[in-house]
Structure 1
Amino acid sequence: MLPNIALDQLLLLDIETTPAVAAFGELPEQVQSLWLEKITKTLPDSADGTGDYAIKAGIFAEFGKVVCISAGFFTLENDHYQLRIKSFYDDDEKVVISGFLELVNKFYAKYPRFQFAGHNIKEFDIPYICRRSVIHQLSLPQPLQLHGFKPWEMPMLDTMQLWRFGDYKSYTSLKLLTTILGIPTSKDDIDGSMVASVYWNDRDLERIATYCQKDVVAVAQLMLRFKGVPLLKEEEVVIVK
């Protein structure tokens, strides 16, 4: 149990990423070479670096892009928590990230000591957003200026780290963690491995945003479970347009 978590000062988030272009052949020649160099060093057993681009490029900030960021925050209504979620999604990554950074600035103005919360955000979501922000020459809000922070000083709660309880040997997926803790989740329409295909083949950003929002809800439920308070009911989750 984590009774000291101030839920109303958490900004929950999840991102969905895809390869920067639909296919390896659409990359500039120099970037193609750099991708092959990257994938060879990262995954030396990779059978086909060009084929791996469509599958794996989205996890690397240098070769992917953010297509959706969903952010949520708790409010207390009649002694019970509610969750409000706002999603930023667009074909133009700069629009997506700019909208999220503006929200961060507003939240920071209201709650100067707030923390980000999410699953594996320390190693993926937050660094990815920061790197892509720099690429687009966007100014990082104060809470995302993380240079010089020690790992334990980072202003964020990571549900994967909370579950580790000091053990750093393994990765636990969000789906696995919610399952073993008995947290009900909406039936998934897609999973993370399908996002690139849904984006580049189906061009269905709304579908991706819905999936991203479900992960934010799952993180919120985990936070409530860690805190030892009742879980959210379906009607207590509000999607802000």
Structure 2
Amino acid sequence: MANFFDQLGDILFLDIETASLSDKFENLPPRLQDEWIKKEKLIQTENGKIEPGALYFDRAGIHAEFGQVICVGVGYFQWKKKDKKLIFRSKVFSNEDERELLLDFNTLLEKKKWILCAHNGKEFDFPYLCRRMLVQGVTLPEPLQIAGKKPWEVRHLDTLELWKFGDYKHYTRLELLAAVFGIPTSKDDLDGSQVNTTFHLEKNINRIKKYCRKDVEVTARVYLAMHPQLDEMELEMVHLEDSPKDHKD
């Protein structure tokens, strides 16, 4: 058990929220417009023939070449042995300048030899962060440098992968796992399909940040739920002060 708590304190749970690079397809640079039209033809749709650029607003944010990171939520556990209490401290980084946001996040990653954990992180969050860092000219921090490493040297955890137990046939949503384990939803005010509209049209980054923080907390709770021996321990959630470079609404 002691070893488990030692490792638990080294895990940085994270979640990213992304949006399309621009609010309209027409505002993309011409070369990216051409590339999006080619990408769009590969996207499955039930609508039949569509106008070029019609899927951009709804779909571009999930593709790192056409999207941007608008906030990064992080959280970690601290074990209070005397009180038999786990404290989860969380924070959300956001900045109008994506490069500055990624640099702020990098500073945190450089402070400790973190193990990174996200839901579907190996397929989405981790590679998305790496791609946007390279686009923005940001050096990849050590935890995200996987080239040349052996599988056991990569310090990445994924609650989706843990839940699969070797079964690669199905995708399981974080919300489904939250429901299965009786964990409060993160979708009570916003869900992923509404982020682009909330960011570009409503200009409400604070609403997105709250949603992002909740997803980080749900991911951490799901991870704990996979270790039922911890059920009787008290869990306290602490929200750290947000980055001073956040959006000002």
With normalisation by structure 2, the TM-score equals 0.87
**1:126-141 matched pairs, under 5 angstroms:** 126-141=126-141
Q: Alignment RMSD, CA only?
A: 2.0
| Equivalent position SS for 2:41 | helix
Report the counterpart of residue 238 of structure 1 in structure 2. 238
State yes or no: 1:143 paired with 2:143. Answer: yes
The alpha-carbon distance between structure 1 residues 47 and 176, as it changes in their structure 2 partners (threshold 3 A), is farther
Question: Are the counterparts in 1 of residues 85 and 234 from structure 2 also a CA contact under 8 Å?
Answer: no
The alpha-carbon distance between structure 1 residues 150 and 173, as it changes in their structure 2 partners (threshold 3 A), is farther
CA separation in 1, counterparts of 2:183 and 2:99? 34
Task: Give, in angstroms, the shift of residue 204 of structure 1.
Answer: 0.7
CA separation in 1, counterparts of 2:127 and 2:151? 13
The alpha-carbon distance between structure 1 residues 47 and 81, as it changes in their structure 2 partners (threshold 3 A), is farther
Which amino acid in the other structure matches residue 55 of structure 2?
D
**1:18-167 matched pairs, under 5 angstroms:** 18-43=19-44, 47-48=49-50, 49-77=52-80, 78-108=83-113, 114-149=114-149, 153-167=153-167
Q: Deviations over 1:25-69 (max 9, x none)?
A: 111121111001112134376643411100000000000000000
CA separation in 2, counterparts of 1:151 and 1:90? 33
Which amino acid in the other structure matches residue 115 of structure 1?
I
**1:186-197 matched pairs, under 5 angstroms:** 188-197=188-197
CA separation in 2, counterparts of 1:57 and 1:186? 23
Question: Are the counterparts in 1 of residues 61 and 68 from structure 2 also a CA contact under 8 Å?
Answer: yes
CA separation in 2, counterparts of 1:210 and 1:80? 24
CA separation in 2, counterparts of 1:7 and 1:172? 23
**In terms of mean alpha carbon deviation, does 148-157 or 54-63 score higher?**
148-157
With normalisation by structure 1, the TM-score equals 0.90
| Equivalent position SS for 1:168 | coil
* Number of residue-to-residue matches in the alignment: 233
The alpha-carbon distance between structure 1 residues 20 and 200, as it changes in their structure 2 partners (threshold 3 A), is same
Which amino acid in the other structure matches residue 173 of structure 2?
S
Q: Deviations over 1:188-210 (max 9, x none)?
A: 21000000000001111111000
| Equivalent position SS for 2:123 | helix
State yes or no: 1:17 paired with 2:23. Answer: no
- In the alignment, structure 2 segments of 5+ residues that lack a partner are 242-249
- In the alignment, structure 1 segments of 5+ residues that lack a partner are 109-113
CA separation in 2, counterparts of 1:233 and 1:95? 36
| Equivalent position SS for 2:128 | helix
The alpha-carbon distance between structure 1 residues 119 and 85, as it changes in their structure 2 partners (threshold 3 A), is same
Identity %: 39
